[in-house]
């Protein structure tokens, strides 16, 4: 490949540079993909604000994307130049202790080998992802919709980790909170979404949900009123804030499950009532990442158009305006932005 590619680099928190570099031929088993849509997400925004232990700066970033294959490495038979593809940014090794325990989301190779750099003209998808977690994009699916494969995979894994449930309170009116509510509803559960930002609550209402505005009063009382006075069967925390983690057990019924989906900064300590957890037998869990099974399920949800994810994209920018995109998100505007090189 002789062309050059632009790639966004987070030089330090709050500072993004667009750099140009030669495009490389893909390695054995790999794909070179021209990015058509790359979505922003909460992890990218947190990294932009304060850095991330798994992404020391300077770093490429961006990992929710779809695009077109422009070149294939030796040995690739599943895809050819011109194919539209959608994928996630990791794949388990299949050989470590955690993979042997069927806990592929904890594979010891996931974080060291994760694929970053979707905010770019071109990205190389390595062999392991091509073989396990890369799929042809259906023609009827837009590139923006296809780029939801990674976040939706996280949500599917999160929900599949819960015990059977009927009423589920979701704390957070961001994209992950809404995705949880959409998948829960598709599976027959009754989600109750709790939020506090009017712009986002309005998006929630457009999806057909009647959210609880946490600014209006006691959210735990409001949830109990909608759940036969008992509290929700399960609570999923999707804000990644200490206060919401500590609030979550107050929303669940006796014998229910609290799922702490949103990650907190390294070193954060939270406090729960031991009495509440013990005597009411409240289970606490914290799902992480996804499995190949969850990726396949997320792909089918998108391929079959069982979810409408496009309203979650509230802004779009060309690649050369990525700094403006993150400045806007940092100021609280919108849900997800789509970077379209």
C-alpha 26: how far from chain center? 26
Whose tokens are 């490495």? That residue is 73
- Distance, CA of 341 to CA of 335 (rounded, Å): 20
Q: What is the pLDDT of residues 107-161, one digit of tens each?
A: 999 999 999 999 999 999 999 999 999 999 999 999 999 999 999 999 999 999 9
**Closest by CA position to 302, among listed 162, 151, 74, 149:** 149
For residue 164, pLDDT beyond 70: yes
Q: Quick one: pLDDT at residue 232?
A: 97
> Percentage of the chain with pLDDT > 70?
99
Could you read off the pLDDT of 212-270 as tens digits, one per residue? 999 998 999 999 999 999 999 999 999 999 999 999 999 999 999 999 999 998 899 99
The reply to whether the predicted model has a pTM over 0.85 is: yes
Query: Phi, psi (5° rounding) for residue 336?
Result: -125, 140
Question: In this predicted model, what pLDDT tens digit does every residue of 288-317 receive, in sequence order?
Answer: 999 999 999 999 999 999 999 999 999 999
Tally: H helices and E strands in the chain: 12, 16
Question: Given this model, what pLDDT does residue 311 score?
Answer: 95
* DSSP one-letter code for 120: B
Q: Alpha-carbon distance 260 to 279, whole Å?
A: 20
CA distance 57 to 39: 20
pLDDT band at 1 (very low <50, low <70, confident <90, very high): low
Q: Where are the alpha helices (DSSP H) in the chain?
A: 42-50, 97-100, 127-132, 143-146, 149-160, 175-186, 198-206, 219-226, 242-247, 274-279, 292-303, 322-330
Domains of the chain: 4-153+290-339 (3.90.180.10), 162-285 (3.40.50.720)
Question: Which pLDDT value is given to residue 51?
Answer: 86
pLDDT in tens, 177-210: 999 999 999 999 999 999 999 999 999 999 999 9
Position 4 confidence tier, pLDDT thresholds 50, 70, 90: confident
**pLDDT at residue 53 in the model:** 82
Decide if pLDDT at 23 tops 90: no
Q: What pLDDT score does 2 carry?
A: 60
């Amino acid at each position: 490949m002789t062309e050059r590619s632009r790639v966004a680099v987070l030089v330090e928190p709050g500072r993004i540079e667009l750099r140009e570099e030669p495009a490389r031929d893909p390695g054995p088993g790999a794909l070179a993909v021209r990015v058509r849509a790359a979505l922003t997400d909460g992890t990218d925004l947190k990294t932009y604000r304060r850095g991330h232990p798994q992404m020391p700066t300077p770093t490429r970033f961006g990992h929710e994307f779809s695009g077109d294959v422009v070149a294939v490495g030796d040995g690739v038979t599943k895809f050819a130049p011109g194919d539209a593809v959608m994928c996630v940014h990791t794949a388990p090794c299949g050989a470590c202790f955690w993979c042997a325990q069927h806990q592929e989301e904890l594979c010891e190779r996931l974080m060291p080998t994760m694929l970053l750099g979707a905010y770019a003209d071109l990205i190389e998808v390595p062999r392991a992802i091509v073989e396990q977690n890369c799929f042809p994009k259906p023609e009827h699916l837009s590139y923006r919709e296809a780029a939801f494969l990674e976040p939706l995979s996280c949500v599917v894994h999160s929900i599949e980790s819960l015990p059977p449930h009927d009423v589920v309170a979701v704390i957070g009116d961001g994209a992950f909170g809404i995705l949880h509510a959409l998948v829960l509803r598709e599976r027959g559960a009754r989600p109750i979404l709790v939020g506090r930002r009017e712009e986002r609550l309005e998006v929630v209402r457009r999806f057909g949900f009647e959210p609880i505005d946490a600014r209006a009063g006691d959210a735990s009382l409001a949830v109990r009123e909608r759940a036969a006075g008992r509290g929700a069967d399960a609570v999923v925390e999707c804000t990644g804030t200490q206060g919401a983690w500590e609030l979550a057990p107050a929303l669940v019924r006796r014998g229910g499950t609290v799922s702490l989906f949103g990650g907190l900064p390294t070193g954060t300590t939270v406090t729960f009532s031991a009495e509440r957890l013990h005597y009411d037998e409240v289970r606490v869990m914290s799902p992480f990442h996804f499995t190949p099974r969850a990726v396949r399920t997320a792909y089918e949800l998108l391929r079959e158009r069982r979810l409408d994810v496009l309203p979650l994209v509230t802004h779009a920018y060309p690649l050369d305006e990525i700094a403006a995109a993150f400045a806007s998100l940092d100021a609280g505007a919108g849900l997800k932005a789509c970077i379209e090189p």
